[in-house]
Amino acid sequence: MPDNAKSSQQYLSANHAQSTEIGLEWDQDNQQWWEWYMSLAENESDAGEKPRIDLPEPMPHPTPDRATLAQELSQPFHLSQTQVEYFRCHGYIKLKSVLSPGALTLLRQELAAMFQQQSDQLGHRFGSLEMMWEQNQLVRAFVFSTRLARLAAELLDVAAVRLYHDNGLSKQPGCGRTPWHYDGHHFPIATQNVCTVWIPLQEIPDSMGPLGFAQGLDVVELVEDIPFNKFDTSYDRRVNERLRDRGIEVDLGPFELGEVSFHHNLSFHTAGPNRTTTPRMVLATTYFEDGARVIDAPHMVNGDWRRFMPGVEPGQVINTPLNPVLFSQ
Ligand SMILES: O=C(O)CCC(=O)C(=O)O
């Protein structure tokens, strides 16, 4: 059984475990939030016991020097009108060759070293590191990349974007599915103009659990009557059934190295289990429209949000030094 098939209740604090209430704020850290959240995914009961596909660690590519990397991360990546329209219609887009293999080699090595420090606890888990940019100059260079922030702003069609947070994700060998969700349920930001840039740090074949997207920004309306349940996998299962019954196309394709996806706050997405022997590492960075406020009533699904915008209270504009404007037209 994968770790995330264990009971969801065990990941909750006593306060959350004893009531079905979702309106209370989360009271543990972001890693614990992911532990709980991943436990809400449906997995095959014997998924954890199946033999893993032997996949060697990704081959390192020649790495750029500091100046070359800075140039790559700041130069615009031109979007065609068709690509912009695709994002606005489907709620996501996968773009190839956004980052070079050498730049990604550098970032993977850096994140691997950080995850290595907690390797004794990782097991089959979904490892999460956040706000790495505050301490790590290389991560900061990617998170503050004008190339990426500009793409987010252009796809969202907003004048300026701020940073919500960075999230290093290591889906460990044997870790199960990521449940169906949309980020508008996760982020306590009172606008839908939010975009997450999901950067694979190695190729992601089907067997490693690529991020998969339900096509259509309006899918959220098709499933809005399905109640979220904090204790079991019913929400994930019912969303999956609804998408299937309504014939919604789901893009579960693999990612090449250098391919990056951008998804809107309302995009429904999931990810498969990691059935390989190599951790599936990703940097996911979220940007939101400058001027947005915190929602009036943050809840447990918003996770450790106060860590990402310290001192901002519900209803207030988000403009702390941890949420800098990273691109402005
Ligand atoms: O990496 C995953 O499996 C999930 C990530 C995700 O849902 C996100 O970045 O919005």
Residue 300's pLDDT is 98
Q: How far is CA 248 from CA 49, 87, 251, in A?
A: 31, 16, 10
**Are 195 and 152 within 8 A, CB to CB?**
yes
Residue 6's pLDDT is 58
CA of 178 from ligand 1 middle (Å) equals 7
CA nearest neighbour of 232 among 53, 36, 75:
36
Cβ of residue 208 lying under 6 Å from some atom of ligand 1: no
Domain 3-54+63-328: CATH architecture, name and number where available: Sandwich (2.60)
Residue range 64-118, pLDDT digits in tens: 999 999 999 999 999 999 999 999 999 999 999 999 999 999 999 999 999 998 8
Residue 119's pLDDT is 74
Cβ of residue 111 lying under 6 Å from some atom of ligand 1: no
Alpha carbons within 13 angstroms on the beta-carbon side of residue 187 total 28
Residue range 9-32, pLDDT digits in tens: 999 999 999 999 999 999 999 999
Cβ of residue 299 lying under 6 Å from some atom of ligand 1: no
The shares of helix, strand and coil residues in the chain, as percent rounded to the nearest 5, are 35, 20, 45
Domain segments of the chain as ranges: 3-54+63-328
Q: Which atom of ligand 1 is nearest to the CA of 178?
A: 3
Q: How far is CA 254 from CA 26, 52, 142, 205, 210, in A?
A: 33, 18, 22, 5, 6
Q: Which atom of ligand 1 is nearest to the CA of 169?
A: 1
Average pLDDT, the chain: 95
Residue 118's pLDDT is 81
CA nearest neighbour of 205 among 24, 54, 2:
54
Q: State which of 269, 285, 308 you would mutate to test the pocket of ligand 1, scoring each by most atoms of that ligand within 8 A of its C-beta.
A: 269
Cβ of residue 198 lying under 6 Å from some atom of ligand 1: yes
**Are 16 and 299 within 8 A, CB to CB?**
no
The helix (H) or strand (E) run that includes residue 88 is helix 81-90
Residue 5's pLDDT is 44
Cβ of residue 264 lying under 6 Å from some atom of ligand 1: no
DSSP class of residue 139 equals H
Cβ of residue 269 lying under 6 Å from some atom of ligand 1: yes
Q: Which atom of ligand 1 is nearest to the CA of 284?
A: 9
Q: Which atom of ligand 1 is nearest to the CA of 181?
A: 7
Q: State which of 128, 167, 169, 287 you would mutate to test the pocket of ligand 1, scoring each by most atoms of that ligand within 8 A of its C-beta.
A: 169
181 phi, psi to nearest 5 deg: -165, 170
Q: Which residue positions in the chain have pLDDT lower than 50? A: 1-5
If DSSP codes are grouped into helix, strand and coil, which group holds residue 35? helix
Strands 250-251 and 211-214: antiparallel
Residue 47's pLDDT is 73
The DSSP code sequence of 258-305 is: T-EEEEETT--EEE----BSS-EEEEEEEEEETT-BB-SS--GGG-SH
Cβ of residue 261 lying under 6 Å from some atom of ligand 1: no
